Amino acid sequence: MRLQVSLIVVSGVMNDLALADFTAVEFPDVCEPFVLPHARKPDRAPEIAGVERSLERGEFLCREGDRKSALHRLEAGVLCLTTRRASGPPEVIEMMFPGEFVGLGFLDHHIHSVMAVVPCRLTEFPTSAISEFCSVSAEVRDRQALQTEREFAARRHELANGLSDRAVRRVAAFLSAMYHMNRQEGRNPAYIAEFLKTGDVASFLDMDVTALAEALAVLKQRGLVERAENGGLMLLDPDALELLSETE
């Protein structure tokens, strides 16, 4: 009976996520008492030192495009994987339950955003531990194969759309330069006036307006920029923009 109720709750949360605005996802209070068993562990778990980590409801473990800095195993709670769409709310890929890993695959960055549906507890391992977990667990090997397949598909989609990491870094470098120029001239350094009203920026960066809009969407997804009033742009994390631009 409890399993039936739990599945109904998860189904309701998935519908909420599919309809909610990405920047303000809220979960119904019915999620509070949702309880799941502890993580399943392989019979011969490798002796790898891990660090405990917790997430509050609605908190992100990672966002689409973030670099993979660690491997995480969910110990308690529920995580939701989403991916951005060209327009509208994000697409829900799947719900993750205790015993499953975040950070598998072959790319050096995440292709999904991962958010806590309820308060979660995780264990963080170095990414080098993937091969050890795969060697003792058929489930982890299957998940690694699935994630690798998803990342190949995501990479093909990226190439098909023509939006490269270099284009995103180029826009980040431009915004970082604008930030420093505004600060030197005594203006609000984080506000780029009327940025989205003109094609001059696209011409300056030698890209079309569509590619510029897609690059800005990626930066917005990563929490680095946000639309402002009068067609302007707010820089939410200038340090991260500068760090990203240094690879350009």
- Interval 127-163: pLDDT, tens: 999 999 999 999 999 999 999 999 888 877 666 555 5
What distance in Å separates the CA atoms of residue 119 and residue 36, rounded to the nearest whole number? 11
Domain shared by 32 and 115, yes or no: yes
Q: Please tell me which residue, 52 or 49, carries the higher pLDDT value.
A: 52
Sequence-separated contacts (24+) of 82-89 with Cβ below 8 Å: 82/17, 82/22, 82/112, 82/113, 82/115, 83/111, 83/112, 83/113, 84/22, 84/113, 84/217, 84/221, 89/17, 89/18, 89/19, 89/20, 89/21, 89/22
Nearest partner of 120 among 89, 91, 99, 90, judged by Cα: 99
Contact 70/124 with Cβ under 8 angstroms?
yes
How would residue 8 be classed by pLDDT, with cut points 50, 70 and 90? very low
Domain shared by 101 and 172, yes or no: no
Structural domain containing residue 205: 165-245
Domain shared by 40 and 142, yes or no: yes
Count of domains in the chain? 2
Domain shared by 133 and 178, yes or no: no
| Domain boundary residue, one of 135, 161, 187 | 161
Domain shared by 132 and 29, yes or no: yes
- Look at residue 64 and tell me whether its pLDDT is greater than 70: yes
Question: What are the φ/ψ torsions at residue 129 (nearest 5 degrees)?
Answer: -80, -10
- Look at residue 68 and tell me whether its pLDDT is greater than 50: yes
Domain shared by 148 and 169, yes or no: no
Domain shared by 139 and 175, yes or no: no
CATH number for the domain spanning 218: value is 1.10.10.10
- Interval 99-118: pLDDT, tens: 999 999 988 899 999 999 99
3-state secondary structure (DSSP) of residue 224: coil
Sequence-separated (6 or more) residues with CB below 8 Å from residue 231:
194, 195, 196, 197
| Domain boundary residue, one of 161, 183, 208 | 161
Domain shared by 118 and 220, yes or no: no
